[in-house]
Structure 1
Amino acid sequence: MPGCDAHGPRFRCVLPFEAEPAEVRLLRRAAVAQLGQWGVASVAEEAELLVTELATNVIKHVGGGVSATLILEWRCERLRVEVHDKSQILPAPVQACCDEECGRGLHLLAALAADWGTVLTAVGKSVWCEIAVQSAVCQRVERARGALERYKESRPFMAARGRSEAAFLDESAVELIADLLHWAAAQGQDPDDVLDQAQMHYEADGEAAAAA
């Protein structure tokens, strides 16, 4: 589910699951498929490990068969993997003298993730981690956002209408594309050809990201 916030475009997927080994396998596949649809398959292997660890920890420390939720959130430069359950007992790293597996998953999170943490919620807790995402898609998104910000500065009357930031950027994107098509026509180009070429580049970037 795409969205937008102050940090740029955001994609979010919510996947409820039952804390069972068979469900974890299905959850892992669903997460990898979602990342492929977003065009960030380059981080699928790391995300798959993190999803497995977080979901398995629910089975070990909350209980088999309990209801939990996986949330994937991509904000261009970061992918956030977050699991919610109904226990308010926060996990802690295993002590050096402990030979149990209870806290080793946190060491894996720390090793793989750029950042991670735990949060108490009204109905339980969430354990989250973030991994860095670098791709041609991200670079294009950042360039587009910079162009839209500059476009906004050149049209202050639009910003004065009380729109939200997301709504303003959406409208600015349409207006900017329209301006570019007028510019192409003024240069003797066919606007439909320009749109077709842009679509080809968009699809090629997505295919390249999925194959990475």
Structure 2
Amino acid sequence: MSVPAQTAGDLPADVKVPGMREQPRFSAAIDLVALPTAAKVARLFVADTLRRWGAMFIEPDMEAVAAELVALSVKATGPAEGTSWQDIRTIGTIRVCLVGWRRHIVVEVSDEHDQELVLPEEAELPHDSGLGLVDARADRWGSCLTYSGRVMWAELAVYERTGAGLPRRNPKPTPHPRAPLPTQDPDLLQRVLNGLKNK
């Protein structure tokens, strides 16, 4: 991007402004109808996309998070539970988008709802379904309103985690090996120990 001449001051008009944000490496999207079957289709879409991206170690969590966000979307914008197929007059749309960054992958679920997601304060939500599952498995999540509806999103790190939830990264040898530690001087250590005892 070039800086316009009238705002660049003493800079030449063709000076480049460094990018302020990392650009996504991958993206994929699918449009669904706001029906109960949408969550299963979202799972299949996420699984297939992550396999193609080589990010299968986050597939179970990302599938679960995406399915729950889609289920929340269907609940808010789809037909009421128990509605007969013959009684459905309008069908809302849902867009599921995966965006791959260098260190994380984001799932976005867009719908026509007009209220943001809110995690009730001090609420004991189950960690195996709904917003509680999203909160438990995603590193970060949230929602925002746009001119066409709501966008819900969740972010998961692309590296594996240990059983305790800590990041597991492949060790890389340093190009500058550490210098060997100096040999221990028993006389020096004894003098330090004696000095500590005499205090």
Q: For the superposition of Structure 1 and Structure 2, which TM-score range results when normalised by the shorter chain?
A: 0.5 to 0.7
Cα distance change on mapping 1:39 and 1:93 into 2, 3 Å: same
Task: Point out where structure 2 has 5 or more consecutive residues left out of the alignment.
Answer: 1-19, 80-90, 161-168, 173-199
What SS does structure 1 have at the residue aligned with 2:73? helix
Q: Could you give the per-residue CA deviations for residues 150-173 of structure 1, whole angstroms, max 9, x where no partner exists? A: xxxxxxxxxxxxxxxxxxxxxxxx
Cα distance between partner residues in 2 of 1:32 and 1:61: 25
2:34 aligns to what? 19
Deviation (angstroms), 1:90: 1.5
2:134 aligns to what? 109
Give the TM-score taking structure 2 as reference length.
0.58
What SS does structure 2 have at the residue aligned with 1:88? coil
Cα distance between partner residues in 2 of 1:73 and 1:55: 16
Cα distance between partner residues in 1 of 2:142 and 2:117: 10
Deviation (angstroms), 1:27: 2.0
What SS does structure 1 have at the residue aligned with 2:25? strand
Cα distance between partner residues in 1 of 2:146 and 2:71: 20
* Structure richer in helix, relative to its length: 1
Cα distance between partner residues in 1 of 2:94 and 2:114: 13
* Cα-Cα RMSD: 3.0
Deviation (angstroms), 1:35: 0.5
Which amino acid in structure 2 is aligned with residue 30 of structure 1? Answer: F
Which amino acid in structure 1 is aligned with residue 33 of structure 2? Answer: E
Moved over 4 A (4+): 95-99
Cα distance between partner residues in 2 of 1:16 and 1:31: 13
2:195 aligns to what? none
Cα distance between partner residues in 2 of 1:73 and 1:97: 30
Cα distance change on mapping 1:58 and 1:24 into 2, 3 Å: same
**For 2:143, which of 101, 115, 118 is the aligned residue?**
118
Deviation (angstroms), 1:9: 5.3
Give the TM-score taking structure 1 as reference length.
0.55
**For 1:44, which of 42, 46, 59 is the aligned residue?**
59
Task: Point out where structure 1 has 5 or more consecutive residues left out of the alignment.
Answer: 144-212
Deviation (angstroms), 1:89: 1.2
Which amino acid in structure 2 is aligned with residue 109 of structure 1? Answer: V
Cα distance change on mapping 1:87 and 1:38 into 2, 3 Å: same
Deviation (angstroms), 1:91: 2.4
2:47 aligns to what? 32
Retained in 1: the 8 A contact 2:42–2:63? Answer: no
Counting matched residue pairs gives 132
Deviation (angstroms), 1:10: 1.2
Deviation (angstroms), 1:94: 3.7
Deviation (angstroms), 1:87: 1.3
Cα distance between partner residues in 1 of 2:102 and 2:123: 40
**For 2:102, which of 72, 76, 85 is the aligned residue?**
76
2:93 aligns to what? 67
Overall identity of the aligned pairs, in %: 25
Deviation (angstroms), 1:117: 1.0
